[in-house]
Amino acid sequence: MSTHTEGLSINLATVRQQWNLREAVEACARHGIRAVDPWRDQVAAIGLADSARVIKDNGMRVTGYCRGGMFPAADAAGRRAAIDDNKRAIDEAATIGAECLVFVVGGLPPGSRDLADARRMVADGLAAILPHARAARMPLAIEPLHPMYAADRACVNTLAQALDLCDQLGVGVGVAIDAYHVWWDPDLAEQVARAGRDGRILAHHICDWLVPTRDLLLDRGMMGDGVIDLPGLRRMIEAAGYRGLQEVEIFSAENWWKRSGDEVLATCIERFMRVC
């Protein structure tokens, strides 16, 4: 592995508009990047067997698999369907050799205003799939999302909430710490240290928060272009005992997704070296 890319992983959402999974993995290999995190739709587009093959053939480490979750539903049938789908996601993650399955847990069911009930559904859903995950030896990484997503994407919004779920569920569950979602939290240092004490930091995602942000979902910044103290966050996470890779995950409809994939990867490497 090149010294310029050691410690770097690319979440393939970062180049999802430029390449399919095969093309993205091969491009990462050309750039000396040896770790990726694919998404389920990218795997489905070329097939699970071919995805596993191209990852293996290019010597890629798979730092995560995106994503499980979306547990809350308006009725029992919807909740059962989500549980079944998450079991399939666990099996897919195991097939491609992922180190964890990342969870965006879901928000309010249609028509609901009961956030506490949505959070109960998340806890129940995770508990229901945990035996399957343990049997597959697949760690589950709960990713707390910024509170702006509480209604539609994730009702787990702080690292403390995610770690409370870990305490409740036990072995096999940890957290994915995404800079974009947690940088604002006044309790971040305390909660990162708490996660480290139990070895629960399974993944570390990086990008930047732009000011102004034009779209709350699709306007993430390249590292160094925003206001997040990424080196400070990394020091905090390493002090908690995490020695894993930093995974670049950028959703950028009007900027990085419109550039060539090779330019995006080259910039990721340069900013990783200079900023992170």
DSSP 3-state helix, strand, coil percentages of the chain (rounded to 5)? 45, 15, 40
Q: Does the pLDDT at position 2 exceed 60?
A: no
Count of positions (residues) in the chain: 276
d(CA 265, CA 146): 26
Rounded to two decimals, the pTM is: 0.97
Work out the pLDDT band at 4, boundaries 50, 70, 90: confident
**Residue whose tokens read 């609901």:** 112
Q: The tokens 């990867």 sit on which residue?
A: 265
> pLDDT digit string (tens) for 49-79?
999 999 999 999 999 999 999 999 999 999 9
Could you report the per-residue pLDDT of 187-232, keeping only the tens digit for each? 999 999 999 999 999 999 999 999 999 999 999 999 999 999 999 9
Q: What sign results for the dihedral spanned by CA atoms 129, 108, 17, 244?
A: negative
Ordered domains of the chain (ranges, CATH): 8-274 (3.20.20.150)
Reported as half-sphere exposure (CB side, CA atoms, 13 A), residue 57 has a value of: 10
